[in-house]
A and B are shown apart, each in its own frame.
Chain A
Amino acid sequence: MLNVIYILWLRQLKRYMRSRARVISSLAQPLLYLLGMGYGLGPVFQKAGMGSYLQFIAPGLIAMTILFTSVFSGIELIMDRQFGFLKETLVAPVPRLWIILGRILGGATVALLQGLLFLLVCLIAGYRWQALGTLPAFLIMAEIGILFCALGSAIGSVLSDMQGFQLIMGFLVMPLFFLSGAMFPLSNLPKPLTLLTSLDPLSYGVDGLRHCLNGVAHFGLATDLLVLSLVAAALVALSSYLFSRIQV
């Protein structure tokens, strides 16, 4: 079992390491937000007595990097379906659960690496973090990666074309990001918005990262970890079920 999961995990990593364009392009969007919003809205945020906006949004943008990279694993599944490699894995004499676990863990590792790379970019841009929170922050980042790789894989298992996936992602990923509290504080929001933000699993990821890296939390680290773990487990189970039903 471990051998199969490992080889598929390694495949994702090798593909990532060999694609410099992918590494750079997936950092472009969060970098744009960091420079545009971080520096652009910074003075307004500071005038409102909320402190440094760069400090505030950095954990949210790290979560955004992981979110986008993780969800990309769903596109990879569709690409594997279109370019044929998926069939090679589907005729393998191993449970499909092992295959999807290898894919999810590989995608999550790539997302974690991208998240760490963006953390480095934030540090260069002037972000200051709590070094003590590094290890739990890694845990939160890994959980975000697993959760959204599982979501991407679940969607990728039921769609066979890229256009459909991109359409769903547009309706899903951007709202997930904007409702997560990555760009604004979660306190004192109108009630409907409070409800929506509390239903968004990324809110707990951003909150967890903010707790670990900045020492400020809305839900609390225990709640963040619990919600992320439960949602990730449910989505891994769902993606495994949908993947097992793929016919090509």
Chain B
Amino acid sequence: MSDQSPNQCMIRVENLTKMFGAFTAVRDISFEIQRAEIVAFLGPNGAGKTTTIKMLTTLLRPTSGRMQLDGLDPALQPNEVRSRFGIVFQDPSLDDELTAQENMEIHGALFKVPRHTRAARIEKLLRLFELWDRRREPAKRFSGGMRRRLEIARGLLHTPRILFLDEPTLGLDPQTRNQLWTQVRKLNEEEGVTIFLTTHYMEEAERVAQRVLIIDGGRIIAQGSPRELNERTGAQTLEGAFLALTGTTIREEEFSSADRMRQMARVWRR
């Protein structure tokens, strides 16, 4: 049984390593995240953020090291672990041909949300994320912001204890980003959901996260509250601290669909 005390460790990672052939994506990282914490996991492109999240969420098997989510080992109890977290992936993961409600219903069935509470929970979440009036429309007709909101609503349907958000505001306008973070903080405060997020928008991490982990080249190079990191580096902002810690050299990595979205987001902002 999981401990329910407020100081419970929800995520424990010990000496975690992931290699793809000769390339080491994540090198011997260790950290802990307590219940109801909001932690930002920051790093340049290709630093190992998404690989770490994929290992934590059972999508990738680690090469070595140990992990625990809510006291459970993802390698030994994958299905129990999967029922404890919700995830919003870096790339879209909706079925575009299905409506918002149908996407939610599939998730409800896959995550064993009891049938008698499923409809009410779907309504609550779609209302919370202001999608209830559009619930019968296929996801392909939604804007980027609406799709992201739907993905977060879906990730929360089974009342997870941990929510992984992998660049959830990628390509969203400031209004939608603001609304999204407000709702995420509300969930954290009201339901005690532990939030583990990655983002390239440092001001968002500074605003939302209580603690920051910075990963570069597969290693965690710094951790602490945004204020602690600013003090340590003498920077005024988290972005300044991040650049002081990770340098200003542009990192090379494969061009992914997330990059395409980033590129589009930059074009829209011009």
Contacts and interface: CB of A to CB of B under 8 A. Distances in A.
Interface stretch (B4-12, B53-61, B191-199): B53-61
B98 interface: yes
Given A87-B93, A91-B82, A7 B61 contact: no
B59 A87 contact: yes
Nearest to B110: A92
Contact of A11 (B59, B61, B82, B95): B95
A159 interface: no
B80 A88 contact: no
Nearest to A11: B106
A83 interface: yes
Given A7-B106, A88-B107, A248-B59, A94 B112 contact: yes
A85 interface: yes
B111 interface: yes
B87 interface: yes
Interface in A173-223: none
B60 A92 contact: no
B112 A93 contact: yes
Contacts of B54: 248
A114 to B, nearest CB: 18
Interface stretch (A12-20, A48-56, A117-125): A12-20
A3 interface: yes
Interface string A95-122: 1000100000000000000000000000
Interface residues of A, number: 25
Contacts, number: 74
Interface string B54-84: 1001111100000000000000001111110
A89 interface: yes
B50 to A, nearest CB: 11
Interface string B205-235: 0000000000000000000000000000000
Residue of A8, A18, A87, A248 with most chain B CB atoms under a 10 A cut-off: A87
B79 A93 contact: yes
B7 to A, nearest CB: 26
A18 B99 CA distance: 12
A162 interface: no
A91 B58 contact: yes
Interface string B111-150: 1100000000000000000000000000000000000000
Interface in A18-49: 18-19
A137 to B, nearest CB: 30
B79 A95 contact: yes
A4 B109 CA distance: 6
A84 interface: yes
Q: How large is the interface on B (under 10, 10 to 19, 20 to 34, 35 or more residues)?
A: 20 to 34
Contacts of B85: 91
A113 to B, nearest CB: 17
Contacts of B93: 83-85, 87-88
Residue of A91, A92, A99 with most chain B CB atoms under a 10 A cut-off: A91
Contacts of A92: 82, 110-111
B110 A4 contact: yes
Contacts of A15: 95, 97-98
Given A93-B83, A247-B59, A84 B89 contact: yes
Contacts of B89: 84, 87
A91 B97 contact: no
Residue of A7, A8, A15 with most chain B CB atoms under a 10 A cut-off: A7
Contacts of A85: 93-95
B96 interface: yes
A89 B154 CA distance: 12
B87 A91 contact: yes
B112 A18 contact: no
Contacts of B82: 91-93
A155 to B, nearest CB: 21
Given A14-B97, A18-B97, A85-B93, A91 B109 contact: no
A90 interface: yes
Interface of A: 3-4, 6-8, 11, 14-15, 18-19, 83-85, 87-95, 99, 247-248
16 contacts: A3-B109, A11-B98, A11-B102, A19-B97, A83-B93, A84-B93, A87-B93, A88-B106, A90-B58, A91-B82, A91-B85, A93-B79, A93-B111, A94-B79, A94-B112, A248-B60
Given A93-B80, A93-B83, A95-B79, 17 more contacts: A18-B97, A87-B93, A88-B94, A88-B106, A88-B107, A88-B110, A90-B58, A91-B85, A92-B82, A93-B78, A93-B79, A93-B110, A93-B112, A94-B110, A94-B112, A99-B110, A248-B54
Which 9 residue pairs of A and B lie closest in terms of their CB atoms, listed nearest first? A84-B93, A92-B110, A93-B82, A7-B109, A93-B83, A93-B79, A88-B93, A84-B91, A84-B92
